[in-house]
């Protein structure tokens, strides 16, 4: 049998050698910490503090508004400076709590939160995860407690830990797997125990043999967890593709993984679950890869949420070029280009990727030559060339009819297009338009 | 200090392939056949090739200038058209034939329909068929070693035997680029390995053509005749057509299933034209006829999107 995978996809230069051997090290912020109230899918959190309040590390500073929302905890100690709209990496201004960091990093007493696992009911575990403010840390930021509360709880039979890390340049998940594999296994066991029939799969791309070896060794006596190497191919870590590769089950854009009995978690999310349940620590830090050819050195930092991105670049000795071409929050395929470095690290920030040159602005789109490359690589098996044509005519109805909503915006079509058309951008924009119309 | 950083939508990286580079690969892949053609027919073949390429580029640039469009000859597509047109011409044509052919290919077939990506039939083949119909005599007179002779395929149709080895190597009469099966195979395989073209069209084209020909052979009571089959595969424009003309991006289906249907359709039409038609050759007409059916083929072969019709797991 061949390696587990899906049809389509691409093999871009992965750039992981730049940072994959850099051990995780702590970075403690020096300046203000900024906490956007909306760093997850769902309603923005409501502030619990006001100007002048003193807060500690791990203190809940904003509370989930409703079920689909998430708590936010401070990563620094200090006083609340203000609550005002601040710029985020996504390029929008979001109401944020700004904390004047006193540099003491005084913590709340986490031991109070620790309860023996065997005395907890399932609901208690989910409550603890919700209380810790954990959201999907791969980027989408879907609240984890919501994911763990599907309508068909009894049907959940597969928990997949997404260790594919298929985005080029990112190495934060890899470092987690190498350095704290035990936390991943324990975290996964906590999740598995929430469901009667669930088994665990840790799916890792086969370009990370060390991680596969470590986790395989660690789980060899655990019946209900298997480590599965999956083929190295972008976007292997996309939720739908990962579920298909591991279970053969397909879901479309109108379904949730739970509809086919699956729940998928990112590596850092699983570690956050471990931290919350075993160490009593809420989500106030994450791993951020700082990499690219425009920085003097690369690193995998354990960063307090709220840290200014500029501090991380400065910690690398700044840029090695006067004007870096492009700074990306996240990976090169799905990350967002930043126009300001003065934005906070949030729950979904996986990397700061710094390029000396911007490849995209050097190319100019030309006529489609109908080569069919986009159709061949599309993991959603739609026809990007056709969708882009329909989209540029603004025909939303036809766009939906031609399965435009099945696009996962992975970027493969734009990547391979020889005419350098901005296919993903056109299609993604139209998808947003359709979704906005549906809400109305 | 502050930086001026560039902003754009994801993805932020791009593959090596550009239109120019892909066309460049096609030109490289055509070199074995072109060089062999010049070796086989002499310097006059080189002249035809050069006239054809240069006039295609001039017509494209001139037309785009005339209508105040961006001049796009840098994408090399006009060079590919010129080269393909030349390879489809007999080496002895007068100089105005490639010029007229280039005009028809670039202006009538390609630019009047909107330029690269918009034409509905292969420009080089459209021009070849136009020339074949208009100047049948000049387009079907072949000399080899200074002797006017029939092409191997015409000899085969007339019921004569065929020298399969020289057809494979290409030391026969024919158009400049079509005679050497081995040179074309090298180029075709290069394109498939480099992932410039997909294997489906040539494989299903040659495969289905062979199957139809064999079925017909058996039906008319011929025994399994490998020489006959190989002569058909190596003869005429089949190799050139299957690897370089039928796979033209613009005028072939974009969908994987569509490529298969297109290939089989080509195999069937080529078999029909060659076996029952008046001329020994049938590849050019098969391809341009099938070009016209591409929108229809695409319409019925839209791929099923991932997860379409998926059922909730109970």
- Identify the residue with better confidence: B280 or A415: A415
A2 pLDDT above the threshold of 70: no
Positive or negative torsion for Cα A346, A348, A351, A356: negative
Q: What distance in Å separates residue B7's CA from the closest CA in chain A?
A: 5
- C-alpha span between B96 and B308 (Å, rounded): 55
A298 pLDDT above the threshold of 90: yes
Q: What percent of chain A has pLDDT over 70?
A: 100
Average the pLDDT over each of A115-124, A193-202, A282-291 and give the range with the smallest value.
Answer: A115-124
Q: What percent of chain B has pLDDT over 90?
A: 76
A391 pLDDT above the threshold of 50: yes
Average pLDDT over residues A144-162: 93
What confidence tens digit (pLDDT) does each residue in B35-65 have?
999 999 999 999 999 999 999 999 999 999 9
- Give the residue from A321, A109, A123 showing the smallest Cα distance to B3: A321
pLDDT for A179? 95
Average pLDDT over residues B178-183: 95
pLDDT for B160? 80
Class of domain A122-278: alpha beta
Among B13, B119, B250, B300, the residue to mutate for chain A (most A Cβ within 10 A): B13
Does A333 contact B250 at a Cβ distance shorter than 8 Å? no
- Identify the residue with better confidence: B281 or A290: A290
Average pLDDT over residues B162-168: 89
SS3 at position A101: strand
CA angle B13, A206, A346 (to 5 degrees): 55
In terms of CA atoms, which chain A residue is nearest residue B20?
Answer: A418
Strand A158-163 versus strand A46-47 pairing type = unpaired
Instruction: Using a CB–CB cutoff of 8 Å, tell me whether B21 touches chain A.
Output: yes
pLDDT for A377? 94
A422 pLDDT above the threshold of 50: yes
pLDDT for B312? 65
User: 3-class secondary structure for A398-425?
Assistant: HHHHCCHHHCCCCCHHHHHCCCCCCHHH
B264 pLDDT above the threshold of 90: yes
- C-alpha span between A8 and B254 (Å, rounded): 15
pLDDT for A138? 81
Instruction: Using a CB–CB cutoff of 8 Å, tell me whether B9 touches chain A.
Output: yes
Residues of A in contact with B12 (CB under 8 A): 326, 328, 332-333, 335, 337, 353, 355, 358-360
Count of all residues that appear for chain A in the document: 440
Average the pLDDT over each of A217-221, A232-236, A317-321, B309-313 and give the range with the smallest value.
Answer: B309-313
pLDDT for B1? 52
A1 pLDDT above the threshold of 50: no
Average pLDDT over residues B68-96: 95
pLDDT for B313? 53
Q: Which two tokens stand for residue A227?
A: 């480590």
pLDDT for B155? 85
CA angle B199, B235, B100 (to 5 degrees): 90
Cβ of A317: how many Cβ atoms within 10 Å? 10
Question: pLDDT averaged over chain A?
Answer: 93
List chain B domain ranges.
19-300
Contact by Cβ (8 Å): A169, A289: yes
- Give the residue from A190, A187, A180 showing the smallest Cα distance to A120: A190
pLDDT band at A144 (very low <50, low <70, confident <90, very high): very high
A230 pLDDT above the threshold of 50: yes
pLDDT band at B150 (very low <50, low <70, confident <90, very high): confident
Average pLDDT over residues A344-357: 93
Q: If you write DSSP's letter for every residue of A212-241 in order, what string do you get?
A: HHHHHHHTTT-TTEEEEEE---BTTTSHHH
Among A365, A381, A385, the residue to mutate for chain B (most B Cβ within 10 A): A381
A7 pLDDT above the threshold of 90: no
Does A367 contact B116 at a Cβ distance shorter than 8 Å? yes
Strand A54-55 versus strand A78-87 pairing type = antiparallel
Average pLDDT over residues B194-217: 95
- C-alpha span between A262 and A244 (Å, rounded): 10
pLDDT for A170? 95
pLDDT for B133? 92
List chain A domain ranges.
26-110+284-355, 122-278, 373-439
Whole-complex ipTM = 0.89
Q: What distance in Å separates residue B313's CA from the closest CA in chain A?
A: 4
Q: Name the architecture of domain B19-300.
A: Orthogonal Bundle (1.10)
Q: Name the architecture of domain A26-110+284-355.
A: Roll (3.10)
Tokens 């020298």 belong to B163
């Amino acid at each position: 049998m061949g390696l587990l995978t899906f049809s389509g996809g691409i093999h871009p230069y992965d750039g992981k050698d730049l940072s994959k051997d850099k051990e995780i090290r702590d970075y403690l912020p020096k300046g203000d910490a900024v906490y956007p109230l909306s760093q997850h899918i769902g309603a923005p959190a409501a502030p619990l503090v006001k100007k002048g309040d003193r807060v500690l590390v791990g203190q809940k500073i904003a509370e989930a508004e409703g079920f689909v929302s998430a708590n936010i905890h401070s990563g620094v100690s200090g006083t609340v400076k203000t609550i005002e709209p601040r710029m985020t990496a996504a390029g929008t201004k979001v109401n944020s709590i700004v904390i004047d960091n006193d540099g003491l990093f005084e913590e709340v007493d986490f031991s109070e939160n620790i309860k023996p696992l065997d005395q907890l009911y399932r609901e208690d575990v989910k409550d603890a995860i919700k209380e810790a403010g954990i959201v999907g840390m791969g980027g989408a930021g879907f609240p984890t407690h919501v994911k763990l509360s599907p309508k068909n709880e009894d049907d959940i039979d597969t928990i997949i830990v997404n260790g594919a890390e298929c985005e080029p340049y990112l190495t934060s998940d890899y470092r987690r797997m190498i350095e704290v594999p035990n936390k991943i296994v324990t975290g996964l066991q906590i999740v598995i125990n929430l469901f009667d029939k669930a088994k665990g799969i840790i799916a890792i791309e086969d370009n990370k043999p060390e991680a596969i070896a470590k986790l395989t060794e660690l789980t060899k006596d655990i019946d209900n967890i298997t480590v599965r190497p999956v083929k190295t191919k972008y976007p292997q870590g996309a939720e739908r593709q990962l579920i298909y590769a591991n279970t053969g089950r397909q879901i479309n854009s109108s379904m949730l993984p739970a509809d086919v009995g699956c729940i998928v978690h990112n590596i850092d999310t699983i570690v956050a679950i471990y931290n919350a349940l075993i160490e009593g620590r809420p989500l106030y830090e994450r791993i951020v890869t700082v990499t690219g050819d425009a920085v003097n050195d690369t690193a995998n930092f354990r960063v307090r949420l709220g840290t200014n991105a500029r501090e991380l670049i400065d910690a690398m000795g700044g840029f090695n070029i006067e004007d870096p071409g492009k700074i990306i929050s996240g990976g090169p395929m799905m990350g967002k280009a930043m126009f300001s470095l003065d934005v906070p690290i949030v729950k979904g920030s996986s990397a700061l990727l710094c390029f000396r040159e911007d490849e995209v602005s050097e190319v100019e789109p030309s006529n489609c030559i109908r080569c069919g490359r986009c159709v061949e690589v599309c993991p959603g098996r739609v026809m990007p060339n056709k969708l882009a044509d329909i989209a540029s005519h603004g025909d939303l109805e036809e766009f939906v009819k031609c399965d435009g909503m099945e696009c996962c915006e992975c970027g493969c079509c734009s990547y391979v297009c020889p005419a350098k058309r901005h296919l993903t951008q056109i299609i993604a924009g139209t998808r947003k338009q359709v979704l906005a119309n549906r809400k109305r | 200090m502050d930086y001026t950083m560039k902003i754009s939508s994801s993805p932020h990286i791009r593959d090596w392939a550009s239109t120019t580079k892909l066309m460049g690969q096609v030109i490289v892949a055509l070199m074995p056949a072109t060089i062999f053609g010049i070796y086989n027919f002499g310097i006059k073949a080189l002249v035809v090739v050069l006239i054809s390429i240069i006039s295609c580029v001039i017509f494209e640039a001139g037309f785009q200038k005339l209508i105040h469009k961006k001049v796009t000859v840098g994408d090399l597509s006009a060079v590919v058209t010129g080269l393909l047109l030349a390879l489809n011409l007999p080496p002895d044509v007068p100089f105005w034939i490639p010029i007229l052919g280039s005009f028809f290919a670039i202006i009538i077939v390609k630019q009047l329909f909107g330029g690269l990506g918009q034409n509905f039939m292969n420009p080089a083949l459209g021009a070849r068929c136009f020339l074949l119909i208009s100047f049948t005599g000049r387009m079907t007179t072949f000399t080899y070693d200074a002797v006017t002779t029939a092409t191997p395929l015409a000899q085969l149709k007339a019921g004569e035997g065929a020298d399969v080895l020289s057809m494979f190597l290409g030391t026969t009469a024919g158009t400049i680029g079509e005679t050497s099966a081995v040179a074309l195979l090298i180029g075709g395989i290069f394109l498939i390995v480099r992932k410039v073209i997909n294997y489906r069209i040539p494989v299903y084209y040659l495969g289905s053509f062979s199957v139809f020909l064999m079925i017909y052979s058996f039906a008319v009571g011929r025994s399994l005749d490998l020489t006959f089959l190989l002569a058909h595969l190596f003869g005429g424009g089949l190799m050139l057509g299957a690897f370089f003309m039928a796979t033209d991006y613009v005028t072939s289906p974009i969908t994987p299933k569509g490529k298969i249907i297109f290939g089989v359709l080509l195999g069937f039409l080529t078999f029909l034209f060659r076996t029952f038609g008046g001329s020994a050759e049938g590849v050019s007409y098969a391809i341009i006829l099938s070009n016209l059916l591409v929108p229809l083929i695409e319409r019925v072969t839209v791929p099923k999107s991932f997860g379409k019709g998926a059922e909730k797991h109970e």
